[in-house]
Amino acid sequence: MGMSETASILKAIGNLNRARIIAHLSKHRGETAEDLAKHLGYPLPTVYKYLRELEVAKIVESEAKERKVKLYYPRDFKLEVSPEKLMELFEQPSTLNLYKAKSGDNDAKRLNEVIRKAKSGGMTYRQAASTLGISYYEFILLLEEIDAAD
């Protein structure tokens, strides 16, 4: 298991609401977002947000059924954590630092502007990633890193 995979699993299950979704899906395989919202008592937009994050972390996968209804399933994963693994993890170059190295520090203003626009719903995360010239996955990692620093 790669370090970024370990980091995304840790982040995903570090949020108790997301961890509850994984636990619920392990018991009730193949649920819709609507079912999850109803069973767990979370607002539907929140459930969709968590499911997107869990799919990006490769912990949950979805399958489209008739009428575009998606069913969500947990993916199998094992997580080994030790002080040594955490040390390796935090010695990895951050996505933000990699982005700054690639685009130059003077791009920080543009980066903040695009992130603000994406978070306020002015553009999708995919559009934001494309605007910044990075992948959707890299954009999600960038957001997580920036949110963790706040």
Asked if pLDDT for residue 133 goes beyond 60, the answer is yes
pLDDT tens, position by position, 60-109:
999 988 778 899 999 998 888 888 877 777 776 667 776 776 666 566 77
What fold is seen in the domain 3-74?
Answer: Arc Repressor Mutant, subunit A (1.10.10)
Give the pLDDT confidence score for residue 46 in this predicted structure.
92
DSSP one-letter string for 16-80 = HHHHHHHHHHHHS-SB-HHHHHHHHT--HHHHHHHHHHHHHTTSEEEEE-GGG-EEEEEPP----
Residue with tokens 């963790």: 148
User: Domain segments of the chain: what residues?
Assistant: 3-74, 94-149
Residue 71's contacts (CB-CB under 8 Å, 6 or more residues apart) are 30, 31, 32, 62, 63, 65
CA distance 18 to 38: 15
Residue 139 C-alpha from the chain's centroid: 10
Q: pTM, whole model, 2 decimals?
A: 0.58
